[in-house]
Amino acid sequence: MERLLMAAAPIPENEEARLRALGACELLDTPPDPRFDAFARLASRIYGVPYALVSLVDRDRQWFKAAVGLPQGSSMPRDLSFCAHAILRPGQPMLVPDTLADPRFADHPMVQGPPHFRFYAAVPLRDATGLPVGSLCILDLAPRDPEGIDLAPLEELALGLSTLVEHGRSLAALRESDENYRYTIELSPQMPWTADPDGMILSVGPRWPALIGMRLEETLGDGWLRALHPDDVAPTLREWGIALRAGTPVDLEYRLSNATGEYTWYRVRAAARHDAEGRIIRWYGTVEDVDEAKAVREALRKSDELARSVLESSPVCIKVLDLSGYLIFMNGPGLALFDLDTAETVEGFGWRQALPADYVAAVQQGAHVAARGESVQFTIHCPTARGRAKWWEISICPIAGADGLPYRLLWISRDITEEKQAREQQEASAARLADVLETTSDCVAVLDRDWIFTYVNGRAEAWFARRGPALGASAWMMLATPGDPSFARQLQRAMAQPGPTTFEEYLPSLDAWLEVHAYPSGEGLTLFFRDVSERRRAEAEQRRSEQRIAHMARHDGLTGLANRGFFQEEIGRALREGSAGCALLFLDLDNFKDVNDALGHLGGDQLLQQAADRLRRVAQDSACIARLGGDEFGLLLRGAGPREAIGGLAVRIIDAVSEPYLIEGQRLRVGASIGIALPVTQGAAPEADALIKQADMALYSAKTEGPGLYRFFAPEMTQRLQSRRALRHDLREALENGEFSLAFQPVVALGERRIVACEALLRWFRPGRGPVSPADFVPVAEETGLIVPLGRWVLRQACVAALDWPDSISVAVNLSPAQFTGPGLVEAVAAALEETGLPASRLELEITESVLLHEDALALETLHALRAMGIGIAMDDFGTGYSSLSYLQRFPFDKIKIDRSFVADLPGRAQSLAILRAIVGLGRSFDMTITAEGVETADQAATVEAEGCRYAQGYLFSRPLSQTDISAFLARAEGVALAGW
């Protein structure tokens, strides 16, 4: 490879020019050409060689345009090219008799290897300028004697080939010229055309069809007239006819339709070519699109008119002066402003002649500055031609000439007399306003459009002093608070509003509430503000007070629950919004009164608070809970679900409320009863009052059947309630009308078989209704408080009846727990004894366990007072209530009466017998006698006697008898032992 590189031909000095000449021939990589092939074959035959080549030497290869013995169109690298050596001497042939003897080619691969060239001769091929582009060469496989080689024929052949090469270059140049002409025609704005002496079109440029939309054949002759605008046909033909007759050049403008049917302005110019006798041979012309230029000329014309109109319509005086200061032009308004009649009045007039002496120097300086190419502006006081004094704002600027240097002065004078007067008045007003702003009680600040304080009055400056000087500071630095953009948003909203805005906003950065009145303008925002923090705090406190008052008005002060009024509103709202899924629950605490009486109101209040907390815990957020009064609560459920779910909630509430309470160190229990009312799901929903009444009736039903029960309202409850209300009314009338009476049932001493006492039993016979059961009317009497006067009547009537009995027989009277709730019981008993004269020892009072349920000190005090009078005290219905031993410890009863429910199953039921024995045992332990109630059979009498009961009472001995009948019965039984059991 090293030898091959060393043998490569050097690059000619004019290589780039040679390559350009080669390219200009346009022969490289062209198809075979028979002319070149003929020269190659001729050279091969003349010299009797197997190889003849027409080679072209490119930058990096040798390419064969024609070849004998080798493939035509093939090539080899320029480094291996024989011809690269031949072109080094453009005017001389090259002869290599023996390639092995020539060091340039001895190592050539086509010499050392196939086809083993040994002889080479070549003549360079040159273009017209003499630059070698290739060679005509012959090659043989055997060396030749140089003396026997005549290269003249080869040179002649090479000369002929050079002619072909030059012919190719000339053809390429001709094609280039044609292309240049074609592109020139296509790119030129002027499209050529020709016409005969009569004006008939012979040819048009190639762009005509695309521009006009007419085929060339349609255009020839006078066909082009179809593209002419109808309004332009007559004037165009007239001018064209004149030119045809006179042979003079023509220059016209008319409109031609384009391919889209729109008309465009064109300029057409033409000139005639004459023969030697002056006759027209042919017309040559151009068509040029001048639509845009015409539009520009029209725009310039209008612009000129507009400029003139502006000058004459301008409210200012516009003058043009030469650089010496002499007037050249002055517009009409300027003449009027200066009270001049015509321009001739001041033509050639200098500005120095028109100005007061005081301003000449200043104006002259300004004029000199403008003459140097700068603009200047100043204000002067100068009278008009009629002596009217005016203030003028003068602007002088240079007018540049073609060389860019000032050659005229544009002098504009604007009458600012009224403006100056208005400004002076405004400044005076501003001064007065500043005095007002400084004395106002408000803080005043002005912000520009960049949110910079451009004015603050003294009060505002003092208020902002905590944050630093405000004037010139940013509003966001003085007012904004990081993390709280509220105030900033208010300011931005005020700036964007078209009119005044008022707002109050808290400013955390200064811990202040501001009342702001904002007035936007084109320059920015004017703020009138004051610190209203004290007022806002007072208002907030007032709102809190009002909220507390409103809350108190709608909520129970003890429990925090809704009160009755608020609860009724919620019920009404729920029914109006849709009663489906609503449920109303009324809850009443069982035995609360006993706790309240025992522990006092403070203890009762604590229990109510704890009960309210339990209701909240169970109901959670599913209900509106209210305290309706006393120990009564209400729950309004929404989305309550089916009856089973509501009943389940009622059970959970009862269980929760019935859990023990710890009040003042004591564990207490109360129960709960619940009444439930559900709105109807069809038809008109009930009013709130109707639903409340239904829940109340359901609660009453639950308490009547209770304790610890819940009941849903049923229509029949209404009847029961009405009956109960009627009973209350009748009860009062019965007391007033003396409809009550007493029946007496004997109490028998079992051992002696004799009557020792009679229990007074209250009876009521209602005219028109008949007997009313004590089980029905006694609870009503207790609820209404009628039990107190009724009890006093019973006491007195029983004492009166006992006076007719044997002295050995006492009378027993039942006392209601309601009679212990207030003072007066002891006095009532004493009065009955005193009025009737019955000894206290013959009176026995029976109470139930509920009287002592919560260690009521008043009840105990009352019992002790009655005992002190000598009256016997008995515990009635023992075993049916709480049956606590503490009752027997707190008060030494004389007698215990076993409830009839424990006697009814004797002697057969072992459980009842066990209870009987236990009670009897307690009596012995506390030294209290035992009376068995409800004894109806001899076996029952024998059993209770055998177990230790000293006394018995029941139908076995006698049914309750009227006052008259009991007196007769006792008279017959006096001193006689009872028999028959």
The pLDDT tens digits for 415-428 are 888 888 888 777 77
Q: pLDDT band at residue 683, thresholds of 50, 70 and 90?
A: low
pLDDT bucket at 435, cuts 50 / 70 / 90: low
The enclosing H or E element of 183 equals helix 152-187
Average pLDDT value over all residues in the chain:
83
Q: Strand, coil or helix: what is 660?
A: coil
Predicted pLDDT of residue 4: 40
Angle, helix 910-925 to helix 938-946, in steps of 10 degrees: 40
CA distance linking residue 935 with residue 947, whole number of Å: 14
pLDDT of 98 > 80? The answer is yes
pLDDT digits (tens, 9 = 90+) for 101-150: 999 999 999 999 999 999 999 999 988 888 999 999 999 999 999 888 88
Inform me whether the pLDDT recorded for 168 exceeds 70: no
Q: What is the DSSP code string of 279-303?
A: -EEEEEEEEEE-HHHHHHHHHHHHH
Q: Sorting pLDDT into bands at 50, 70 and 90, what band is 75?
A: confident
Range with lowest mean pLDDT among 415-424, 546-555, 559-568, 800-809? 546-555
* pLDDT tens-digit map of 371-410: 788 888 878 887 887 878 888 888 888 888 878 888 888 8
Above 90 in pLDDT, residue 190? Answer: no
More confident residue, 328 or 517: 517
Would the pTM of this model clear 0.85, i.e. be above it? no
State percent of the chain over pLDDT 70.
Answer: 89
Residue corresponding to tokens 């091929």: 125
pLDDT at 575 over 50: yes
| pLDDT (0 to 100) of residue 50 | 94
Selected residue with higher pLDDT from 753 and 725? 753
Would you state the pLDDT for residue 5? 40
In this prediction, residue 812 has a pLDDT band, given cuts at 50, 70 and 90, of very high
Q: Tokens standing for 112? A: 């050392």
Q: Which two tokens stand for residue 871?
A: 């009256």
CB 208 within 8 A of CB 268: no
How would residue 975 be classed by pLDDT, with cut points 50, 70 and 90? low
Please state, as a whole number, how many other Cβ atoms lie within 10 Å of the Cβ of residue 116: 12
Is 36 a residue whose pLDDT tops 80? Answer: yes
Q: Which long-range contacts (CB under 8 A, 24 or more apart) does 13-21 make?
A: 14/131, 17/131, 18/87, 18/131, 18/132, 18/133, 19/58, 19/59, 21/127, 21/129, 21/131, 21/133, 21/169
pLDDT of residue 598: 67
Residues 766-791, mean pLDDT to the nearest whole number: 85
Query: What gap in Å lies between CA 11 and CA 831, rounded to an integer?
Result: 160
* Mean pLDDT, residues 426-437: 67
Specify the higher pLDDT residue, 783 or 496: 496
High-pLDDT (> 90) share of the chain, %: 23
> How far does Cα 25 stand from its chain's mean position?
78
Confidence of residue 646 (pLDDT cuts 50, 70, 90): confident
Q: What confidence tens digit (pLDDT) does each residue in 597-640 have?
A: 667 778 889 989 999 999 999 888 778 899 988 889 999 888 77
Report the pLDDT value the prediction gives residue 762, as an integer from 0 to 100. 92
pLDDT value at residue 357:
67
C-alpha distances in angstroms, 941 versus 110, 755, 907? 159, 14, 9
Question: What's the rounded mean pLDDT across residues 468-472?
Answer: 83
Nearest to residue 929, comparing CAs of 893, 976, 981? 893
Is it the case that residue 352 has pLDDT exceeding 70?
no
pLDDT at 884 over 70: no
Higher-confidence position of 978 and 646: 646
More confident residue, 869 or 854: 869
- Look at residue 173 and tell me whether its pLDDT is greater than 70: no
CA-based nearest residue to 379, from 369, 366, 370, 388: 366
Model pLDDT, residue 949: 92
* pLDDT interval class at 322 (50, 70, 90): confident
Phi and psi based region of residue 405 (left: phi greater than 0; alpha: psi -120 to 50; beta: remaining): beta
More confident residue, 238 or 718: 238
What is the predicted pLDDT for the residue at 977?
A: 58
pLDDT in tens, 216-263: 888 888 988 898 999 999 999 999 899 889 889 999 998 998 878 889
CB proximity list for 195: less than 8 A, separation 6 or greater:
201, 202, 270, 282, 283, 285
Contact 562, 554 (CB under 8 A): yes
Residue 3's pLDDT is what? 37
Residue 2 — very low, low, confident or very high, per pLDDT cuts 50/70/90? very low
Place of tokens 């321009």: 343
| Of the candidate ranges 69-83, 171-185, 797-811, 831-845, the one whose mean pLDDT is the lowest | 171-185
